[in-house]
Structure 1
Amino acid sequence: MDKVLVAESVRKSYGDVDALSGVSLSVAEGEVFGLIGPNGAGKTTLVRALTGTTAVEGDVSVLGSDPAAVEESRVGLLPQSFSPAGRLTARELVSYYAGLYDEARDPDAVLADVGIEGDDADAWYENLSGGQKRRTCVAAALVNDPDVLFLDEPTTGIDPAGRRSLWNLLESLADGGTTVFLTSHSMVEVERLSDRVGLLNDGELVAVGTPADLVAAHGGDSRLLVETTASPEPDALDDGRFTLSTRGDELVFEGLTPRDIGDAVRALDDAGVAFDSLTWTEPDLEDVYLSLTGESFEAVGRTDAAAGADADSDADAPVAEAGGGRR
């Protein structure tokens, strides 16, 4: 497949803070690439580099050209935050963005694709729920029928049913050849949608691969979680086949197979440990995240000062709008 997005040795600094430290990646046509990482890791800076809205060192190409030279109608961008100019209904907002292009999809059809129809389409944007606002912004990013779509937290505030519907839409777009570059704090979303995932930490791309490959390489073992208020000594339960640790009100057995669960329960009984529940878990992307960053997925990756220098407050880049990559 053709490489639609390419970054080679991309660097960006803000004072003494390196937001991006030699990032290299490529994304193929029709691929969904998920980018994850702590707050302040450089994710938004990388998106801005790829959309040509901030200057960087290194080489970046989109659809075979410099990002600034790509025809705007070929790129769709959904920023994390968005404030429309003026008081508009959902239909008027999407129609406004449709009017920026020589050719665009019917605004009502795009709104219907994201679940905004009837009275909701005629409601003032400011009066919509958070999830409806987000879906309207997705419609604005799709109205030009882009070849490349950049999505920053696309389902924030959207209810579970709406989230699944939007996932189906994005999968359909990718099947039709649209290239999607996704950043999200939902591991379920990233794992479901992404063909490949990149983990950015402190400005460095520390791992890239399919979700399954990343989990196999960095996710660790399956675990048996035991909910209990007891605090037994680990040695009292260790028979040499598994490791034991504590996490809050849980005992965590690692290194077991499903057929070892009975032995673990007998070890608990022999040690006089009462428990409320047992939960068997397989490693997933969140375990990969924890392994490679040393943090839970919700944690902030840097101090507020350093994060302020990162892309989320990139002073030299214009504020992004829903729709095309540049205005």
Structure 2
Amino acid sequence: MEAVVEATDLEKRYGETTALSGASVSVEPGEVFSLIGPNGAGKTTLVRALTGTTEPDGGRARILGESPSAVDRGRLGVLPQEFSPPARLSARELLVYYAGLYDDARDPDDVLADVGLVDAGDTWYEDLSGGQQRRVCVGSALVNDPDLLFLDEPTTGIDPAGRRTVWRLIEDLADGGTTVVLTTHDMAEAERLADRVGLLADGTIVAQGTPEALVRDHGGSSRLTVETAADPDVFADLEYAVERPDRGRGRTVDDAVVVRDIDPAAIGAVVDYLEARDIGYTGLSWAEPDLEDVYLTLADVAERERTDRLERGADESDLARAGETA
């Protein structure tokens, strides 16, 4: 079966800035594929290259069996990250307008119901809340009942209840056979919706797979966080590794320790250990690794590799300049 989305070694540069540096991805029919990654990683540029709104400098992309610029736009739904429809139209009027761009569009009132805005249908766009506006924008990408849907951070600014409405809508679309590619910074969103997740960092896909496989391979171990000012050294004879939590940039948290790779059944043994040694603590919390742990681990590795490359490049430039003046 031919992939609905196929990109191989896509490259895109804006002046001296490299947005994509060999990004490759494949999305199967009916699949929900989520792109995650830091700001500036190239997610939006990749979506633009896949939807034909920007021309890559290198590599190859095909969607629905054709070049992105040649595909029938009626089969494609696109919600960009930045989208500003006319403010003096109501939510319903906006959907009627976008529906009018297609020969066989859905009923705008049905789309309003899908995004949970039946009661706000006659409200001007400019008078809707930010979250309601974003839901109208989601609806505008659905009026043509697309075979392939691109959503660039679809739930940004939407309240938790509205976010769940959009999540259920995406799940229903996927169940009905729509292929969905979405970008998000919300790891819970990616973990709930995506069949597969790709982490984009420094312009390339550094890891992809099911959320469960990514967590298994990159998420690390389970952990018990103990809220205590005690130094990790006092846990020297505990059978588990104990350390201060890392809060980035080489800094650690001073009022907690983390016990690594521990099962819930062993928490009682840690409590007994604390009490037997009169180690004061104010709380305990146990957690399994999740997609956020994967994101932080892989994004951190990619950032360190990028920094190393930049530093090596600077060193080589210094050596070159020194050679020129010698």
Query: TM-score under structure 2 normalisation?
Result: 0.87
Count of aligned pairs: 297
1:157 counterpart letter in structure 2: G
Paired position in structure 1 for 2:92: 91
| 3-state SS of 2:69 partner | helix
Task: Structure 2: state its 5+ residue gaps.
Answer: 246-252, 308-326
The Cα shift of 1:242 comes to 1.7
Paired position in structure 1 for 2:147: 147
| 3-state SS of 2:53 partner | coil
Stretch of structure 1 that moved more, 144-153 or 80-89: 80-89
Would you say the 8 A contact 2:222–2:286 is kept in 1?
yes
User: 1:55-70 counterparts in 2 under 5 A?
Assistant: 55-56=55-56, 57-70=58-71
Paired position in structure 2 for 1:42: 42
Paired position in structure 1 for 2:272: 266
User: How big is the alpha-carbon RMSD for the aligned residues of Structure 1 and Structure 2?
Assistant: 2.0
1:74 counterpart letter in structure 2: R
| 3-state SS of 1:38 partner | coil
- Does residue 174 of structure 2 align to residue 174 of structure 1? yes
2:234 counterpart letter in structure 1: A
Would you say the 8 A contact 1:241–1:256 is kept in 2?
no
- Does residue 248 of structure 2 align to residue 242 of structure 1? no
Q: Deviations over 1:240-295 (max 9, x none)?
A: 63211223232111021222212222332344321111111000000001111128
| 3-state SS of 2:190 partner | helix
Identity of aligned pairs, percent? 61
Paired position in structure 1 for 2:230: 231
User: 1:62-81 counterparts in 2 under 5 A?
Assistant: 62-81=63-82
Paired position in structure 1 for 2:285: 279
Larger RCO of the pair (alpha carbons < 8 Å, separation 6+): 1
Q: Deviations over 1:70-99 (max 9, x none)?
A: 111111111122211352110111111111
Paired position in structure 2 for 1:324: none
Runs (4+) of structure 1 exceeding 4 A deviation are none
Q: Deviations over 1:127-181 (max 9, x none)?
A: 0011111111111010010011011111122222221122111111001110000
Stretch of structure 1 that moved more, 257-266 or 104-113: 257-266
Match of 1:292 among 291, 298, 322: 298
Would you say the 8 A contact 1:226–1:278 is kept in 2?
yes
1:244 counterpart letter in structure 2: V
Paired position in structure 2 for 1:205: 205
The Cα shift of 1:20 comes to 1.0
Name the larger-Rg structure: 2
Alpha-carbon distance in structure 2 between the residues aligned to 1:5 and 1:38? 22
Alpha-carbon distance in structure 1 between the residues aligned to 2:7 and 2:25? 5
Alpha-carbon distance in structure 2 between the residues aligned to 1:40 and 1:239? 45
Task: Structure 1: state its 5+ residue gaps.
Answer: 304-327
- 1:86–1:280: structure 2 CA closer, same or farther, 3 Å change rule? closer
1:77 counterpart letter in structure 2: V
Would you say the 8 A contact 2:24–2:204 is kept in 1?
no
Would you say the 8 A contact 2:230–2:280 is kept in 1?
no
Alpha-carbon distance in structure 2 between the residues aligned to 1:270 and 1:293? 40
Alpha-carbon distance in structure 1 between the residues aligned to 2:256 and 2:2? 48
Would you say the 8 A contact 2:36–2:198 is kept in 1?
yes
The Cα shift of 1:2 comes to 3.2
Alpha-carbon distance in structure 1 between the residues aligned to 2:117 and 2:265? 49
Query: TM-score under structure 1 normalisation?
Result: 0.87
| 3-state SS of 1:34 partner | strand
The Cα shift of 1:218 comes to 0.2
Would you say the 8 A contact 2:86–2:125 is kept in 1?
no
Alpha-carbon distance in structure 1 between the residues aligned to 2:256 and 2:187? 22
Paired position in structure 1 for 2:248: none
- Does residue 57 of structure 2 align to residue 51 of structure 1? no
